[in-house]
Amino acid sequence: MYFVANWKMFGNLKSLNSLDKVIKFSKSKEIKKGRLIYCPPYTLISSFFKKFKNCLIDIGAQNCHESIDYGPHTGFVNCKMLKDIGANYVIIGHSENRSKGETDKIINIKIKSAIKAKLKVIFCIGETLTEKRKKKTRSVLSKQIKIGLNKIKKKSNMFIAYEPVWSIGTGKIPSTKELEQIIEFIKNKFKGRSPKILYGGSVNPKNIKNIKNINNLNGFLVGGASQNPKKFIDIVKKTYN
């Protein structure tokens, strides 16, 4: 199982100290077969990379510019730059960016450029509360997948993170049955070796027991709870116990 920590726009150099517990945990037997991936803000990627030098924790970024080339894009960072400073993963299509105008088409270009730069993609999809109420979840997910992955051949190296927008940061999660059906729906869209599938949205040490055994689920994308090392470790431990 993969456990991705999405720190969003939180964290500073002092937060590096909080990682000691996680590093220790990552070297213990308790981690079982869990794989940890930290996605801090851009400003901390390099420091996290150095901090994790002697352990198996991986690093990712939370977004990227769509262009693989260097260029006049003030304030942005491309995938080559991310790879250069130690990132191996990148989150693309997070709803917090979609809601600011990131389209499925731009997401598709970003994914292609991440693949070119040899970054593993964590591609986020999910419906809003209104879409859910209108029973549009499946058609929304289908569209996001169809356009987002247009003309991308090799998908087995990729992760799809199903993150219902109404669940992010709200404490609400889908029922086990609902989640099972959606994960199966996503999985069935791929023939052969499909992407790995993660769930994200208010995952915490309390609700993990309800979602850890979902068929075909390969892990979790954790926001708020991942900034607290004890909670993040607890999520991993409880997944295996």
Which residues participate in catalysis according to the annotation?
94, 163
Burial class (CB in 10 A: 0-12, 13-18, 19+), 42: middle
Task: Considering the complex, state which of residue 96 and residue 131 has its C-beta at the smaller distance from ligand PGA.
Answer: 96
For tokens 């999660």, name the residue.
173
Max Cα-Cα span within the chain: 50
Q: Is the dihedral of CA 60, 66, 71, 76 positive or negative?
A: negative
- Nearest of 3, 9, 1 to residue 233 by alpha carbon: 3
Task: Considering the complex, state which of residue 6 and residue 108 has its C-beta at the smaller distance from ligand PGA.
Answer: 6
> How big is the site for ligand PGA, counted in residues (CB under 6 A)?
13
Stretch that binds ligand PGA, among 15-23, 130-138, 140-148, 197-205 (CB under 6 A): 197-205
Task: Considering the complex, state which of residue 67 and residue 120 has its C-beta at the smaller distance from ligand PGA.
Answer: 120
Burial pattern 102-125, b for ≥16 Cβ within 10 A else e, equals bebebbbbbbbbbbebebbbbbbb
Q: Which of residues 154-183 bind ligand PGA (CB under 6 A)?
A: 163, 168-169
Nearest approach, Cβ of residue 58 and ligand PGA (Å): 16
Contact at 8 Å (CB) between 111 and 103? no
What Rg value do the Cα atoms of the chain yield, rounded?
17
Nearest approach, Cβ of residue 50 and ligand PGA (Å): 25
Task: Considering the complex, state which of residue 200 and residue 229 has its C-beta at the smaller distance from ligand PGA.
Answer: 200
Q: Which of residues 41-70 bind ligand PGA (CB under 6 A)?
A: none
- Nearest of 10, 89, 26 to residue 232 by alpha carbon: 26
Q: Which of 174, 200, 205, 229 binds ligand PGA (CB under 6 A)?
A: 200
Task: Considering the complex, state which of residue 158 and residue 225 has its C-beta at the smaller distance from ligand PGA.
Answer: 225
Binding mask 201-230 for ligand PGA (x = CB under 6 A): xxx-----------------xxxxx-----
Compute how many other C-beta atoms are within 10 angstroms of the C-beta atom of residue 193: 10
Binding residues for ligand PGA (CB under 6 A) = 6, 163, 168-169, 200-203, 221-225
